[in-house]
Amino acid sequence: MRSLFFSLCLSVTALGAGSAYAAEEARLAPVPAVDEPASGARTATAYFAGGCFWGVEGVFSHVKGVKSVVSGYGGGPPELRVDYDRIGTGRTGYAEAVRVIYDPSQVSYGTLLRVFFSVIADPTTLNYQGPDHGTQYRSALFPQSASQEKVAKAYLAQIGKSGLWRDPIVTKIEAVGRFQPAEDYHQDFMKHNPNHGYIRRWDAPKLVAFKALFPKLYKNAPST
């Protein structure tokens, strides 16, 4: 299954710009009108789902204030144990997701949301991102506190009124359930495989866009 998936990624890449697929367009999302208050906490945790976790992890790992990013699976029944092959069926309820541990004194949850919607995920595509289709590739936010939930709801409403996207916002707020880290070969995939066809076609442009749109937030050495 793993070799089949890797081959599929390469074949999708080979379709090039003339294919029916289009990479998510980078857009500078607005500064959050509602954000987390200062808490004095040294670390906080956030979970995001936004298509293939390689790119989600790859971008967040370069955000200043982010201490670690782990690719995994979230949003499904907590009692169900899953792996990459099972997730790939699209019938588990789980999504490819990432766990972000960050320092709220350096980067806020609202800023992470802004980066997410600016360069990582298109909030208007239901159950797909770029070439990846299925419920496992949906975009979702998994708040870990009442404060995060308040910020997430406010920001989804804010970007919905921003006029940056023609179509309705479909990103959902969900419970992450039991987050399950993905297999080792998925961790830090962009860092370890910069010349992989899928990374070059779909994910590297997200990192380039992040650096261009948020130069003060960008750090060269990625978190792991």
The DSSP code sequence of the chain is -HHHHHHHHHHHHHHGGGSS--PPPP--PPPPSS-PPP---S-EEEEEEESSHHHHHHHHTTBTTEEEEEEEEESS-TT----HHHHTTS-SS-EEEEEEEE-TTTS-HHHHHHHIIIII--TT-TTEETTEESGGG-EEEE-SSHHHHHHHHHHHHHHHTSSS-SSPP--EE----S-EEPPGGGTTHHHH-TT-HHIIIIIHHHHHHHHHH-TTTB-SSPP-
Catalytic residue set:
52
